[in-house]
Amino acid sequence: MSNLGQREKRLLISPTVILLLFFTLFPFVFTLALVFGKVSFIGGKIAIQFAGVSNWVRLLHDQRFWNAVLVTLKIVGIAITAEYCIGLVLALLLYKKPLGCGFFRVLYVVPMLLTPIAVGYTWRMIFDVGRGPITGILQRVGVKPIGWLVDPHISLYSIIITDIWQWTPFMFLLLYAGLEAIPKDYLEAADVDGATAWRKFVYVIMPLLAPPSIAALLLRSVECFKIVDIIYIMTGGGPGQATESLTLFGYNVGFRAFDLAYGATIAFSLFFMVLIATMFFTMLTKSLRAIRLE
C-alpha cells in the first residue's frame, strides 16, 4: 500500500467517497428543492413545481409549528440541564473511588445501552394510569392516580423524565472521563494552599472540566433536538399536540399527510435550529480557548 502513488490511492477510495456523497448530498439537495417547491403527482410520478418562499410563509404563520418548537425547546432545555447536573454529581461521587466503584460505573451506563423503542414501551407501562406501578404506589399512600401520559399539563414532563433516565449516563461518561484527565498535581497544589472542597470544585475542577462539558452539552443537544422515538411510542405527540416535537410534526406532515414540500420545510427549520446551537457551542469553545491563552 505504501508503494502506491497518490493517484492510485485516490482511485481506491473514490467508490466510498462517491457512495457517501450520494447518500448525503443527494438527499440534502432533493430536500432543498422540496422546500422551495410544490409537489404534485401526475401520471403516477412526482412533479416538483417552483413555489418560491410560500412554504416558509406558511410555516411562520402555523401555530402548530410554533407549538412544536416550544415543546422541543422545553425538552432540550429541561432534559439537558437535568442530565448534566445529575451526570456531574454521579461523576464526582465515583471520582472519589468509593467501594464498588466498578459495579456502579457499569450500572449507570445500562439505560444508555437500551434502544429508545424499548425504553419508550417500558416507561409507558410504568406511567400507565390503570396498571402502572407508580399508580399502585400512589394509591397505597392515598394519592389519586395521575394522568402521566394523558394529562396535557403533565405528559411532556413524563417524556422529559424518560429522556433523563436514558441519557444521563452519556453525560456521566464524558464528565467522568474529563475528571480522570485532570492532572492530580493541580488538586494537590490546591490542598497545600488550604483550599476547601467547594473552592477546589469552583476554581480547579470546573474550569478544567469546561471543554468536556461543552462537548457533552453539544452532542446531547443535537440529539435531543431530533427526539421522536420515545414520544411516538409513549404518547404519539398527544394528548392533542402537548408532546409533539418538531421532528414528529415533520413526520406527521410529510409521511402521514403526504405534504412532502411542507414536511421538508419543517425539517430544514430543525436543521437551522441545530446549526444555531452548534455555532453557539463552537463560539463558546473558542472563547474558553482564548481565555486560557491569555
Q: Which amino acid is at 41?
A: F
pLDDT of residue 12: 80
- Its pTM stands at 0.87
Render pLDDT for 212-226 as a digit per residue (tens, 0 to 9). 999 899 999 999 999
pLDDT of residue 17: 84
Exposed e or buried b per residue across 206-230, where buried means at least 16 C-beta atoms within 10 angstroms of its C-beta:
eebbbebbbebbbebbbebbebbeb
CA-CA distance, 49 to 173, in Å (whole number)? 49
pLDDT of residue 74: 96
CA-CA distance, 57 to 52, in Å (whole number)? 10
Residue 49 phi/psi, 5° resolution?
A: -110, 140
> 61, 166, 64: which is closest to 110 by C-alpha?
166
Helix axes 206-225, 260-293, angle to 10 degrees: 170
Residues of the chain with pLDDT under 70: 1-5, 43-44, 289-294
pLDDT of residue 173: 92
pLDDT of residue 293: 47
pLDDT of residue 289: 65
pLDDT of residue 11: 81
Q: Domains, the chain, ranges and CATH?
A: 59-293 (1.10.3720.10)
pLDDT of residue 3: 59
> 285, 92, 292: which is closest to 187 by C-alpha?
92
